[in-house]
């Protein structure tokens, strides 16, 4: 996984359990608006009053658990041990247990095994655990990608204690979902208890939710809580495709890939992440919505992979501060930072600085929504992209390509963004722009070599940044390139001063600058100092 927002353990739930099934008629109902006002009921008996919950609150989750828990499985994965790497504390994928060490409650664990029978050194093995759930009687199981991504062997443990071999059907990095299938000859026919996704009747915020899974190897564990929020963004790669459900229920390591249920026993999500400043559960978890999980699972079963549309642009959310800087206070969408050479967007004529506001007539409010809408297209399909360029609206027809895997995109970004951290070049002639807190100068040959600035990058080199300026607070730094201001290319300090004055005359208090760092552009609104 790539770096995420501090405190999030995306997949640290490598395992967060939840099960799913359509189980109507259990004598339990969703709470109503009046339920909170209902008085506490005390039933008089010969001895003492008995507490009874108000209407809308279930007496127990036992009936739901009894019906759906047979569909939830513990997933044990054996994989090659990875060398230690530098990672942000608290962002581990899932619990790792040395080979041979027994996990609490895990049946069938063997003792330490010798892997080498000659002079060849043994390949170190590690074991990890997660959760999953059957979605068909013939053995298909949904789980998280991070649970099985590096698996050499996969074993599933059923509620009745059976330990069965499984194989990977397909996985999707973009949503952190995977499908495996039981292939063990010991499996008796096609009689697995399974549950169904429910993507029509969504619980309200505040409604009960139940999770079932395998925390810390303790299979068949149930927890309960409430739906706390929808459409959460975890600021990681999956959030471009997953509007997470926030679930306030105890979810821990080992729960990843398990299902979340409403009080009718319907699967509403797949547990995937927790928020944890300490590494342990604080009662805040995140689930992939059922409608996303079901669509991905169907594609993985049919094709072994998920195919998404792709236009080939690097984008940022066009936020309110950026809009105010350009005098477009009512505009929402995404702004193009760069265009992939030779990609679909480049061939269609999309340009850096274009503001994308709709895809196929669907308005977008941020970069994640743009990515989701584009990904719905089939490769070769024409996508109508509504943009604003130079303050004027227009529509550009883009022929969709096929989105590469997230790991491929990450490798490309890393290769393009390597930084040599070389010595400081001879200082070019510079001028200050006090209104922005910047000292700027031309990009000379030494600067290009030191900061690895590609030859096609134009603009002014940032030589200094005033610490207490808005630029300083927003992280602008020596070696960055100021290439554009309010949509106009920058070739001299005079261009910068002119743009600042124009903004002041228009009554605006900020300007939108394009900064290029490590050859990757980013848009930043900067306040104009008085």
Catalytic residues: 146, 176, 256
Rg (CA), the chain: 27
Q: Which residues are within 8 A (CB) of 328 and not within 5 positions of it... i.e. 6 or more apart?
A: 355, 388, 391
Contacts of 409 (CB under 8 A, 6+ apart): none
Q: Which of 191, 224, 218 is nearest to 64 (CA)?
A: 224
Residue bearing tokens 């001879």: 426
Among candidates 331, 413, 399, which has minimal Cα distance to 366?
331
Q: List the one residue out of 267, 293, 286 whose CA is nearest residue 194.
A: 267
Give me the residue label for tokens 């004598």. 27
CB atoms closer than 10 angstroms to residue 308? 22
- The residue whose two tokens read 């190897």 is 217
Q: What is the rounded distance in angstroms from the CA atom of residue 277 to the CA atom of residue 284? A: 11
H helix or E strand, kind and range, residue 416:
helix 406-416
DSSP designation for 429? P
Query: CA-to-CA distance for 254 and 281, rounded, in angstroms?
Result: 12
Tell me the DSSP string of 29-70.
----TTGGGSPPEEE--SSS-EEEPPTTS-S-SHHHHHHHGG
Rounded Cα gap, residues 243 and 238, in angstroms: 9
- Nearest residue to 132 via CA among 206, 204, 190, 182: 182
Sign, CA dihedral 290-292-293-294, equals: positive
In 3-state terms the chain splits into helix, strand, coil percentages (rounded to 5) of 15, 35, 50
Task: Count the neighbouring beta carbons within 10 Å of the beta carbon of residue 148.
Answer: 26
Cα(494)–Cα(488) distance, rounded to whole angstroms? 12
8 Å CB contact between 221 and 215: yes
Q: Own/partner pairs for 221-225, CB < 8 Å, 24+ apart?
A: 221/17, 221/255, 222/61, 222/65, 222/69, 223/249, 223/250, 223/251, 224/61, 224/249, 225/249, 225/250, 225/283
In whole angstroms, give the CA distance from residue 254 to residue 213.
Answer: 7
> How far from chain centre, in Å, is Cα 336?
21
Q: Distance between CA atoms of 354 and 328, rounded to whole angstroms?
A: 13
């Amino acid at each position: 996984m790539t770096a995420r927002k501090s405190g999030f353990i995306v997949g640290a739930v490598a395992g967060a359990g939840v099960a799913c099934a359509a189980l109507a008629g259990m004598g339990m109902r969703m709470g109503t608006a009046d339920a909170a006002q209902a008085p506490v009921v005390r039933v008089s008996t010969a001895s003492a009053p008995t507490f009874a919950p108000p209407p809308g609150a279930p007496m127990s989750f036992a009936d739901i658990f009894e019906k759906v828990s047979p569909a939830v499985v513990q997933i044990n994965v054996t994989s090659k041990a990875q060398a230690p790497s530098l990672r942000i504390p608290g962002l581990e994928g899932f619990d790792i247990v040395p080979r041979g060490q027994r996990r609490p409650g895990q049946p069938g664990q063997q003792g330490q095994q010798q892997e080498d029978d000659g002079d060849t050194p043994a390949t170190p093995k590690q074991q990890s655990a997660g959760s999953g759930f059957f979605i068909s009687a013939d053995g298909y199981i949904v789980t998280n990608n991070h649970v099985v991504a590096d698996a050499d062997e996969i074993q599933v443990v059923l509620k009745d204690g059976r330990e069965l071999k499984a194989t990977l059907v397909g996985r999707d990095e973009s949503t952190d979902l995977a499908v495996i299938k039981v292939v063990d000859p010991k499996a008796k026919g096609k009689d697995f208890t399974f549950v169904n996704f429910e993507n029509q009747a969504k619980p309200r915020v505040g409604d009960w939710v139940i999770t079932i899974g395998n925390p810390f190897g303790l299979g068949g564990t149930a927890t309960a809580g409430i739906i706390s929020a929808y459409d959460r963004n975890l600021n990681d790669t999956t959030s471009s495709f997953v509007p997470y459900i926030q679930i306030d229920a105890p979810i821990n390591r080992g729960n990843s890939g398990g299902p979340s249920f409403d009080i009718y026993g319907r699967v509403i999500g797949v547990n995937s992440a927790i928020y944890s400043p300490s590494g342990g559960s604080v009662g805040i978890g995140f689930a992939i919505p059922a409608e996303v999980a079901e669509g991905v699972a169907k594609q993985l079963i049919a094709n072994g992979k998920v195919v998404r549309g792709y236009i080939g642009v690097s984008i940022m959310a066009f936020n309110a501060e950026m809009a105010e800087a350009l005098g477009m206070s009512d505009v929402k969408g995404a702004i193009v930072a760069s265009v992939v050479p030779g990609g679909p967007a480049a061939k269609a004529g999309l340009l850096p600085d274009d503001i994308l506001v709709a895809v196929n007539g669907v308005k977008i409010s941020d970069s994640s929504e743009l990515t989701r809408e584009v990904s719905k297209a089939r490769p070769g399909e024409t996508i109508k992209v509504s943009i604003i360029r130079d303050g004027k609206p227009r529509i550009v027809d883009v022929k969709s390509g096929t989105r590469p895997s997230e790991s491929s995109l990450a490798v490309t970004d890393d290769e393009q963004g390597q930084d040599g951290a070389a010595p400081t070049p001879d200082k070019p002639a510079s001028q200050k722009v006090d209104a922005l807190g910047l000292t700027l100068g031309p990009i000379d040959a030494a600067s290009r070599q030191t900061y690895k600035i590609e030859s096609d990058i134009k603009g002014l080199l940032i030589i200094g940044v005033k610490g207490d300026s808005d630029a300083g607070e927003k992280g602008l730094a020596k070696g960055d390139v100021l290439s554009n201001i309010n949509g106009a290319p920058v070739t001299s300090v005079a261009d910068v001063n002119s743009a600042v004055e124009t903004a002041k005359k228009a009554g605006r208090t900020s300007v939108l600058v394009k900064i290029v760092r490590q050859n990757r552009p980013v848009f930043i609104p900067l306040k104009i100092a008085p």
